[in-house]
Amino acid sequence: MIQPGATIGILGGGQLGRMIAMAAAQLGYSCHIYAPEEESVAAEVSARFTCAEWDDHAALSAFARDCAVVTYEFENVPVEAVNVIPSQLRAPGTRALEIAQDRLTEKRFVEELGGRPAPFAPVDDETGLADAVAQIGAPGILKTRRDGYDGKGQWRIASAQDAAALQLPGPGLIYEGLVKFEAEFSVILVRGLDGEVRFWDSAQNVHESGILATSSLPAASIAGEQVAEARKLAYRVAEALAYVGVLTLEFFATPDGPVFNEMAPRVHNSGHWTIEGAVTSQFENHVRAILGLPLGDTSTMWPTIQMTNLIGEIEGGINRLLSDTRNHVHLYGKSEARPGRKMGHVTKLG
């Protein structure tokens, strides 16, 4: 157990790091942010900020010396950068990153643990894409194996003709067959240093243009009926990785049971509702877990909850949002609103 007053290092300077830092401060810990971007909304609420590139080993080493533990706020932190951090300081570590950063590796890993992803095939060139479409069928989605998020690095393939006409960006792609689903839902868990695992209730997710729009509780009945099976897979993933902290798996609820979509080895957008809606938020429990503290209660405190992402310009501004007394507004302090950019979220309780 790491006592209050210690410093938590966070790799990445975005809104997830910001909310981790705010939860850490409540428990008496300070945070040191490491990120290559000068504008960091996480650094605004943290004690220290190192702005340096991921390949700056001297800066990473100096950062690590200031920290009692080091975590990360997004899964695209280069593994090589994390490996500069002494292994005893890393939480969750690098294995989860290595898997989550490659969609092909991730799906094969989940299959080995008994999970069922959408049908998939690796693609490196036009011939490989044609073969994948012939094998899996269309429609489907072609994705980069690495780096894509919030709908980026994805191309919808409606037919074999679509595939033949597409100019591939290069090798390192994966083709996935479309899943006919009735609902999307997340399984979010926290695993402590001692191996204890706790789950939050699963929210139903709605995406627009590849970006999460809303997460609502309770989820549709078909999703609720499949949560238990999905949790078993999430538990096996956490155990296989000897994971510490918050881990998220996303699923499609189908007539044949839950289909695995993707995992995120971190706190997750679909868990933002837990700040006001659960006894202990995902951010506080992540902090507790990586510090070796007792985990908090993950029970839901309201009968209905909806978290809505605020993307791009916020229509009506903060006054409109606050005029509904059930709303809890979180703005991330980003200086410029752009289409597709998450500027904050609002959680409506009851």
pLDDT tens for each residue of 182-196: 999 999 999 999 999
Query: Distance between CA atoms of 133 and 158, rounded to whole angstroms?
Result: 10
Q: Which two tokens stand for residue 148?
A: 């894509």
Tens of pLDDT, residues 35-70: 999 999 999 999 999 999 999 999 999 999 999 999
Residue 209 Rama label (left phi>0; alpha psi -120 to 50; beta)? left
Mean pLDDT, the chain, rounded, equals 96
Alpha helices in the chain (DSSP H): 15-26, 57-65, 79-82, 95-100, 103-112, 126-136, 160-165, 221-240, 274-277, 282-291, 317-322
The domain defined by 183-349 carries CATH number 3.30.470.20 = yes
Binding residue per annotation — 12?
A: no
Binding residue per annotation — 151?
A: yes
What number is the average pLDDT over the span 235-242? 98
DSSP state of 38: S
The answer to whether residues 34 and 89 touch, using CB atoms and an 8 Å cutoff, is: no
Binding residue per annotation — 189?
A: no
Of 241, 269, 286, residue with least CA distance to 184? 269
Main-chain dihedrals φ then ψ at residue 212, nearest 5 degrees: -60, 125
Binding residue per annotation — 176?
A: yes
Q: Do domains 119-177 and 183-349 have the same CATH topology?
A: no
* Confidence category of residue 149, pLDDT binned at 50, 70, 90: low
Q: Which two tokens stand for residue 216?
A: 């609502």
Domain extents for the chain?
A: 7-90, 119-177, 183-349
Binding residue per annotation — 319?
A: no
Q: Is the confidence at residue 168, as pLDDT, over 90? A: no
Binding residue per annotation — 348?
A: no
* pLDDT given for residue 92 in this prediction: 95
Judging by DSSP bridges, how do beta strands 69-72 and 7-11 pair with one another?
A: parallel
Binding residue per annotation — 310?
A: no
Q: Considering the chain, what percentage of its residues have pLDDT values greater than 90?
A: 91
Binding residue per annotation — 184?
A: yes
Tens of pLDDT, residues 76-135: 999 999 999 999 999 998 999 999 999 999 999 999 999 999 999 999 999 999 999 999
Query: Distance between CA atoms of 69 and 6, rounded to whole angstroms?
Result: 9
Q: Is the confidence at residue 154, as pLDDT, over 90? A: no
Binding residue per annotation — 350?
A: no
The answer to whether residues 261 and 118 touch, using CB atoms and an 8 Å cutoff, is: yes
Number of neighbours of residue 233 by Cβ within 10 angstroms? 20
Match domain 119-177 to its CATH number in 1.10.8.190, 3.90.700.10, 3.30.1490.20, 1.10.3720.10.
3.30.1490.20
Binding residue per annotation — 336?
A: no
The domain defined by 7-90 carries CATH number 3.40.50.20 = yes
Binding residue per annotation — 269?
A: no
pTM: 0.95
State the angle between helix axes of 15-26 and 282-291 in degrees (0 to 180), rounded to the nearest 10.
70
Q: Report the number of secondary-structure helices (H) and strands (E) in the chain.
A: 11, 17
Beta strands in 96-209 (DSSP E): 120-123, 140-144, 154-157, 173-177, 183-191, 197-199, 204-208
Q: Which two tokens stand for residue 313?
A: 């310009």
Binding residue per annotation — 153?
A: yes
Binding residue per annotation — 161?
A: no
What number is the average pLDDT over the span 17-42? 98
Binding residue per annotation — 235?
A: no
Q: What is the largest CA-CA distance in the chain?
A: 61
The answer to whether residues 181 and 253 touch, using CB atoms and an 8 Å cutoff, is: yes
Binding residue per annotation — 342?
A: no
Q: Over the range 17-40, which residues count as b (16 or more CB within 10 Å of their CB) and which as e?
A: bbbbbbbbbeeebbbbbbbbeeeb
Judging by DSSP bridges, how do beta strands 245-254 and 183-191 pair with one another?
A: antiparallel
Tens of pLDDT, residues 239-274: 999 999 999 999 999 999 999 999 999 999 999 999
